[in-house]
């Protein structure tokens, strides 16, 4: 049997605009979660960060209800993750643990389940075995996942009948090639059944007609209907129905693959990176360039200010509310929008002003001294200067 894992990741930052959230619910989350319950004989894997769970629970409880129904039916596997979609390799151990614990506890409370996920999805598949595997093991996770695009540069083959294990942690590898056929969709399929037919042919050629194997297709759930309207609910119905009817492909949870004795666990170093890494990043050893690149002057100042705010908040360990807001403030989008490829000052400042608000509260409550206050204000001004210089440079380039 050729096993396929369909892994959907859905997330919105805690500062998401309510109108935008409503649009995404209508175009993507509603259709996707409805189909989970309609195809209750199939198996799907979902990562939903607590950041989004909070918003859906408040404004769109029907989506939470569908997720809970599919989970209760056993056809939907839920994974652990960072509560507020922080980039885990960029945080220290204490912060990583707090993000993962908050996520599990929050989802358990909202869904009313004893949520003990076997697997852990690091946001953006940003992974570094040295920093993360010991933490994941300590918290009881049995497997994690990252992208396979890093392997080739290190001379490592993509597995199809083995599961790689790095630092005693099994690490699944998603198919970058197949995920990007959906993420970068350009109208190549006539129906939802066509990619299933193409996948069956590709797996038979790669694995062989008589051998067992697996492939993981993991991507943002917003791809379906929101990013690509052509991949909306009608497409999903055809797509899932084609798997139901397939004689050679079977959908599986990642935990099913983990427990499958046919797939040997093999010790193998997994290079650091994310599902957005490219060959230039690998050559430059700039493994997390979308969120913290040493070559990006905005990122440098952005993270310098982040660390100052963290220092001020940490001086008030008894202030649980402030600590929780600090966790929320680490959401990845503000750094992503400051990258070379997605520069958007409004989104950068949305995160930055939220950080400044927390910094001022921490200072007022005794979480700092005049020296720390001055340093924070200075770095914030330098950060704003870098953003505005980049804005001016891009405007000049456009006009001339």
Q: pLDDT (tens digit, 9 = 90+) per residue, 151-203?
A: 999 999 999 999 999 999 999 999 999 999 999 999 999 999 999 999 999 99
The stretches in the chain having pLDDT less than 50 are: none
Q: Are 254 and 172 in contact (CB under 8 A)?
A: yes
Predicted confidence at residue 261, as pLDDT, reads 96
Alpha-carbon distance values, 120 to 47, 163, 255, 298 (Å): 9, 15, 11, 30
pTM of the model: 0.97
User: How much of the chain, in percent, has pLDDT values that exceed 70?
Assistant: 100
User: Judging by beta carbons within 10 Å of its beta carbon (0-12, 13-18, 19+), is residue 190 exposed, middle or buried?
Assistant: exposed
User: Judging by beta carbons within 10 Å of its beta carbon (0-12, 13-18, 19+), is residue 194 exposed, middle or buried?
Assistant: middle
Other CB atoms within 10 A of residue 98 CB: 19
Distance CA 366, CA 344 (A): 34
Predicted confidence at residue 287, as pLDDT, reads 97
| Phi and psi torsions of 369, nearest 5° | -135, 175
b/e code 320-356 from CB counts within 10 Å (16+ = b): eebeebbbbbbbbbbbbbbbeeebebebbbbbbebbb
Predicted confidence at residue 398, as pLDDT, reads 86
Domains and their CATH numbers in the chain: 2-267 (3.20.110.20), 290-398 (no CATH)
Predicted confidence at residue 297, as pLDDT, reads 98
**Radius of gyration for the alpha carbons in the chain, expressed in angstroms and rounded:** 22
């Amino acid at each position: 049997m050729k096993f396929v894992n369909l892994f959907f990741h859905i997330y919105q930052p805690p500062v998401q605009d309510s109108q935008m959230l409503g649009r995404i619910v209508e175009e993507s989350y509603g259709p996707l979660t409805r189909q989970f319950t309609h195809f209750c004989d199939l198996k799907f894997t979902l990562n939903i960060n607590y950041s989004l769970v909070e918003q859906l629970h408040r404004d769109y409880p029907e989506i939470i209800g569908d997720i809970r129904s599919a989970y209760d039916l056993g056809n939907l596997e839920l994974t652990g993750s960072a509560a507020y979609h922080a980039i885990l390799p960029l945080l220290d151990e204490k912060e990583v643990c707090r993000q993962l614990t908050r996520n599990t506890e929050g989802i358990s409370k909202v869904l009313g389940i004893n949520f003990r996920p076997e697997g852990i999805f690091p946001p953006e598949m940003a992974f570094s075995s040295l920093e993360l595997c010991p933490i994941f093991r300590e918290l009881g996770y049995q497997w994690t996942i990252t992208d396979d695009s890093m392997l080739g540069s290190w001379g490592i083959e993509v597995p199809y009948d083995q599961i790689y294990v790095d630092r005693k942690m099994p690490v699944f590898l998603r198919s970058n090639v197949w995920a990007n056929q959906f993420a970068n969709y350009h109208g190549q399929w006539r129906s939802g059944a066509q990619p299933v037919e193409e996948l069956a042919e590709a797996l038979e050629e790669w694995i062989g007609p008589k051998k067992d194997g697996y492939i993981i297709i993991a991507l943002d759930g917003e791809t379906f209907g929101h990013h690509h309207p052509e991949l909306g609910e009608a497409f999903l119905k055809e797509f899932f129905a084609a798997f139901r009817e397939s004689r050679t492909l079977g959908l599986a949870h990642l935990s099913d693959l983990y427990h499958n004795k046919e797939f040997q666990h093999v010790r193998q170093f997994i290079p650091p990176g994310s599902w957005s890494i490219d060959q230039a990043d690998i050559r430059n050893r700039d493994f997390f360039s979308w969120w913290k690149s040493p070559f990006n002057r905005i990122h440098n100042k952005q993270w310098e200010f982040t660390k100052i705010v963290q220092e001020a908040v940490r001086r008030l360990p008894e202030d649980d509310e402030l600590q929780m807001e600090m966790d929320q403030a680490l959401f990845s989008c503000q750094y992503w929008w400051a990258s070379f490829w997605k520069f958007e000052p409004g989104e950068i400042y949305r995160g930055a002003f939220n950080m400044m608000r927390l910094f001022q509260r921490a200072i007022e409550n005794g979480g700092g001294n005049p020296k720390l206050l001055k340093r924070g204000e200075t770095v914030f001004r330098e950060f704003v200067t870098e953003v505005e210089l980049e804005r001016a440079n891009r405007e000049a380039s456009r006009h001339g």
